[in-house]
Amino acid sequence: MTVNEILSQLSELGNDDTKKILIKHGAKEPFFGVKVADLKTIQKKTKKNHELSLELYETGNSDAMYLAGMIADEKKITKEQLQDWIEKAYWYYLSEFAVSNVCAETEFGFDLALEWINSNKENIAAAGWSTISSIISVKPSNEIDLQIIADLLDRAKNNIKTAEGRIKYTMNGFTIAVGTFIESLSDKAIETSKTFGKVEVDFNGTSCKVPNANEYINKVKSKGNIGKKRKKVRS
């Protein structure tokens, strides 16, 4: 499939109601308002396709950019290309999902995510926290630098209350991920979540909510599922 053929399909799959919802969340023209479930129908046809993913992302169309993240080849995409992607990811569906999910699957994802966390741009820093969360959800804990993760927990504890909205949200998500997927740091994550309690984020009038990290981790703990990893980041 070519970029033009895909854009034509995206136009047909677009939904006005979905578009209105996504605009409230931060999406901007040009885009059609295609549901992720519908994007997966195109993903099944294209499979992983490095060159096509780069072309789709360059269109600037949010639907195409998100699809690019779904079909990107983590073994071929470079650090420089991902850096370009994250700088062009203007809203959180792109930065915290489409781009960060690809980054999490690359061999350099952990190091790049640490660089992003230190960015002074909200969307890039949030993408860093999101990427680390995805990595620890799938990677064996004995292959992760747990001291870095512990230090990041302390950083979240000390900065979450004054952080910008999306950084605050992803710091909370990172705490949940640590408590859920890294057994040796689960208690530390629970204690961290207690210090900042319920996190408040302005979602621009949408119905989105911030999960209570302490309640979430303890619920997973009560089911005996602490430390159980996911099979992969992208489906």
* Model pLDDT for residues 4-63, shown as the tens digit of each residue: 999 999 999 999 999 999 999 999 999 999 999 999 999 999 999 999 999 999 999 999
pLDDT tier, 142 (very low <50, low <70, confident <90, very high otherwise): very high
Q: Could you give the percent of the chain with pLDDT greater than 70? A: 100
Q: How many CA atoms lie within 13 A of 203 on its CB side?
A: 11
Output 41 or 205, whichever has higher pLDDT.
41
135 lies in a domain? yes
61 lies in a domain? no
User: How far is 198 from 194, CA to CA, in rounded Å?
Assistant: 9
Q: What does pLDDT average to over the chain?
A: 97
37 lies in a domain? no
Q: CB–CB of 17/3 below 8 Å? A: no
Contacts of 147 (CB under 8 A, 6+ apart): none
Contacts of 190 (CB under 8 A, 6+ apart): 179, 214, 217, 218
Place of tokens 């605050």: 168
Q: For residue 205, is pLDDT > 90?
A: no
- The residue-averaged pLDDT of 206-229 equals 95
63 lies in a domain? no
Residue among 151, 131, 43 at smallest CA distance from 85:
131
- Per-residue pLDDT tens digits for 155-173: 999 999 999 999 999 999 9
- Per-residue pLDDT tens digits for 85-121: 999 999 999 999 999 999 999 999 999 999 999 999 9
235 lies in a domain? yes
192 lies in a domain? yes
- The pLDDT score that the predictor gives to residue 222 is 97
pLDDT tier, 206 (very low <50, low <70, confident <90, very high otherwise): confident
Count Cβ atoms below 10 Å from residue 25 Cβ, excluding itself.
13
Six-digit token string for 143: 């292959």
Total number of domains in the chain = 1
Q: For residue 202, is pLDDT > 90?
A: no
Buried b (16+ CB within 10 A) or exposed e, 147-167: eebbebbeebbeebeebebbb
44 lies in a domain? no
Q: For residue 235, is pLDDT > 90?
A: no
Q: For residue 64, is pLDDT > 90?
A: yes
Whether the bond into 30 is cis, omega within 30 of 0: yes
State whether residue 33 is helix, strand or coil: coil
Using alpha carbons only, give the angle 178, 26, 97 rounded to the nearest 5 degrees: 35
46 lies in a domain? no
- The pLDDT score that the predictor gives to residue 134 is 98
pLDDT tier, 203 (very low <50, low <70, confident <90, very high otherwise): confident
- The residue-averaged pLDDT of 206-210 equals 88
Structural domain containing residue 232: 108-235
- Burial of 23 from C-beta contacts in 10 A (0-12 / 13-18 / 19+): middle
* pTM of the shown model: 0.96
Q: CB–CB of 39/70 below 8 Å? A: yes
Q: For residue 185, is pLDDT > 90?
A: yes
